[in-house]
Amino acid sequence: MDLHEETIQGLHTKLARREVSSEEVTRHLLARISQLNPELNAYITVTEEEALAQAREADQRLANGDATSPLCGVPIAIKDNMNTRGVRTTCASRMLEHFVPPFDATAVRKLREAGAVFLGKTNMDEFAMGSSTEHSLFGPCRNPHDHERVPGGSSGGSACAVAADLCIAATGSDTGGSIRQPAAYCGVVGMKPTYGRVSRFGLVAFASSLDQIGPIAKDVTDCSLLLQALCGYDPCDSTSVDSAVPDFASFLTGDVRGLRIGIPGEYFIEGMDAEVEEAVRNGIRILEKEGARPVEISLPHTAYGIPVYYLIATAEASSNLARYDGVKYGFRAKGASDTLRQMYHRTRSEGFGAEVKRRIMLGTYALSSGYYDAYYRKAQQVCTLIRQDFVEAFQHCDVIVTPTVPSPAFPIGEKTGDPLQMYLLDIFTTTVNLAGLPGLSMPCGTTSGGLPVGMQILGRHFDEGTVLKTAFAFEQQTLTTSKTQA
């Protein structure tokens, strides 16, 4: 097996046994990045020197026997909306093209302390607004399974880097599906934890009540290992929850006997891709064969997910992005110093891309006096109903299984002219953010065209364990099956 194909778990064993050094793996991956990234465009910034320094430090720790985390010495990638001390954090925007944060995001600090090696910052839709990683100042990222197609978004760079073996694992952020959807498109495992599980401190905010950092990895075990390192209460984030984080590895038993799998009729809709539907239904059959019990459930407010999401997320975004005004840091339009108003106007007109501006305008409108009750307040009320749907559903099941996206990865450029078509891709993922639940996407097959299909597994609040347990059991079966077939 080539070094770049390693998983966290596999590499950790080799590093611990001193069969390979972190520096070796890091050099290998950096070389692979310089070879493949010009085409795939998964990375915005590659931090070669820093990575090698971190790798040498990790090797030292491994040699001294004080590498307590399985991530020590493991090269990973960080989405470019998470602050990295001393390394530019652009959010794929002109606004922050040269912004170098003076501090690490809490999630980044935790990974740094664990001894992980940061290869660089991954491409994304500007300020995480998008489902295709086409809305990037640095150009679109490509799907490693078909370079003419998108990798999904907004964490498209991270999903692409993991799928193309340009890192061992990566971090993503998920506001309406931004981890799960690209994971589905790229055929990797991605998880959005329960809202409040992972600190948002240092994650550049898109929609504060929905944003959550999570892992993107090559398999379920890696996903749980990276998740373990990310989770935990942070006093710097008032919305982070102070409750014990279980040992996720203990859930990876492969045993799903008696597990009740909720299947919501509303998530198998008319017009969805037949191959996608078949792959997911097949996945459910596999779990059933392992002793899980499918239960028909209903999530009646599913249809409101998209409008509610695009009201709440844009409203919060319009306020969160107000700080980019050219006064303190980041981009300031040239020659715009005549009046303050002009400076604001030109800086924000030139600094933001079209999709970000569209969402700022939508959100500003939703919060405006006279419209607030009809839009923002109403959206919050419906959000409560969506949350109640899930609470009710979880009375009858332990996990919910759905497709992650109704269709596989689409060609680059196909939907950029039609924002509504793009927004509709989030139909199965946004409700999970609105309800604050944990959700995971994993590969469950491929289309006849060779594109990966993602299956989404949802759990109760703070029950990532059962989600991972289900995912692991499914993965064990599909690995066995593919091996048998091979």
Partner 1 sequence: MEYEAVIGLEIHAQLLTESKIFCGCSTQFGAEPNENTCPVCTGMPGVLPVLNRRVVELALRTAVALKGEIAPRSVFARKNYFYPDLPKGYQISQFEAPLSLGGYVEIEGDGGTRRVCLTRIHLEEDAGKLVYEGTMEKADAGYVDLNRTGVPLIEIVTEPELRSPEEAAAFLRKLRSILRYLEVCDGNMEQGSLRCDANVSIRPVGSEGLGVRTEMKNMNSFRFVEHALEYEIQRQIATLDDGEKIIQETRLWDTSKNVTMSMRSKEEAHDYRYFPDPDLVPVEIDSTWVEEIRGNLPELPDEKENRFVEAYELPIEDARTLTATAELADYFEKAVARFPQAKKVSNWILTELLRELNRDEREIGGCAVTPEHLSGMLAMIEDGSISGKIGKQVFEEMYRTGKEPQAIVKEKGWVQIQDSSELAGVIDHVLVSHPDEVSKYRAGKEKVFGFFVGQVMKATRGQANPKRVNELLREKLQSDN
* CB closer to partner 1 out of 35 and 384: 384
Give the count of beta carbons closer than 10 Å to the beta carbon of residue 331: 19
* CB closer to partner 1 out of 318 and 456: 318
* CB closer to partner 1 out of 260 and 357: 357
Q: What is the CA radius of gyration of the chain?
A: 21
CA-nearest of 342, 434, 335 to 382 is 434
* CB closer to partner 1 out of 130 and 363: 363
* CB closer to partner 1 out of 340 and 479: 340
Q: How far is the CB of 193 from partner 1 (least distance, A)?
A: 17
Give the count of beta carbons closer than 10 Å to the beta carbon of residue 269: 14
Residues 225 and 227: their CA atoms lie apart, in Å, by 5
User: Any alpha helices (H) in 409-463, and if so which ranges?
Assistant: 419-424, 430-435
Q: How far is the CB of 264 from partner 1 (least distance, A)?
A: 27
At 77 the three-state DSSP class reads: strand
- Residue 121's DSSP bridge partners are 45, 78
Q: How far is the CB of 244 from partner 1 (least distance, A)?
A: 19
Q: How far is CA 430 from CA 65, 116, 210, in A?
A: 43, 30, 9
Q: How far is the CB of 418 from partner 1 (least distance, A)?
A: 28
Q: How far is the CB of 335 from partner 1 (least distance, A)?
A: 16
At 454 the three-state DSSP class reads: strand
**395 burial via Cβ count (<10 Å: 0-12, 13-18, 19+):** exposed
- Residue 83's DSSP bridge partners are none
Check if the beta carbon of residue 265 is closer than 8 Å to that of residue 296: yes
Check if the beta carbon of residue 241 is closer than 8 Å to that of residue 208: no
**Strand 117-122 relative to strand 75-79: parallel, antiparallel, unpaired?**
parallel
Q: Side chain identity at 400, as an amino acid letter?
A: I
Q: How far is the CB of 326 from partner 1 (least distance, A)?
A: 9
* Catalytic-role residue among 178, 240, 318, 407: 178
* CB closer to partner 1 out of 270 and 373: 373
Check if the beta carbon of residue 106 is closer than 8 Å to that of residue 199: yes
Q: How far is the CB of 138 from partner 1 (least distance, A)?
A: 17
Applying CB under 8 A, the residues found at the interface with partner 1 are 82-83, 89, 91, 96, 99, 101-103, 105, 200-205, 207-209, 235-239, 315-316, 318-319, 321-323, 325, 327-329, 340, 344, 364, 367-369, 372, 376
**Residue 82 phi, psi (nearest 5):** -115, 125
The answer to whether 178 is a known catalytic residue is yes
The answer to whether 357 is a known catalytic residue is no
Q: How far is the CB of 377 from partner 1 (least distance, A)?
A: 9
* Catalytic-role residue among 154, 199, 240, 407: 154
User: Token pair of 360, please?
Assistant: 């700022």
* CB closer to partner 1 out of 190 and 326: 326
* CB closer to partner 1 out of 94 and 218: 94
Residues 307 and 127: their CA atoms lie apart, in Å, by 20
* CB closer to partner 1 out of 186 and 205: 205
DSSP states of 174-230 = ESSSTTHHHHHHHT-EEEEPPTTSS--TTBPPSSTTT-EEEEEESSHHHHHHHHHHH
- Residue 456's DSSP bridge partners are 402, 441
DSSP secondary structure letter of residue 168: S
**196 burial via Cβ count (<10 Å: 0-12, 13-18, 19+):** buried
Q: How far is the CB of 203 from partner 1 (least distance, A)?
A: 6
- Residue 297's DSSP bridge partners are 264
* Catalytic-role residue among 69, 79, 121, 407: 79
Catalytic site positions: 79, 154, 178
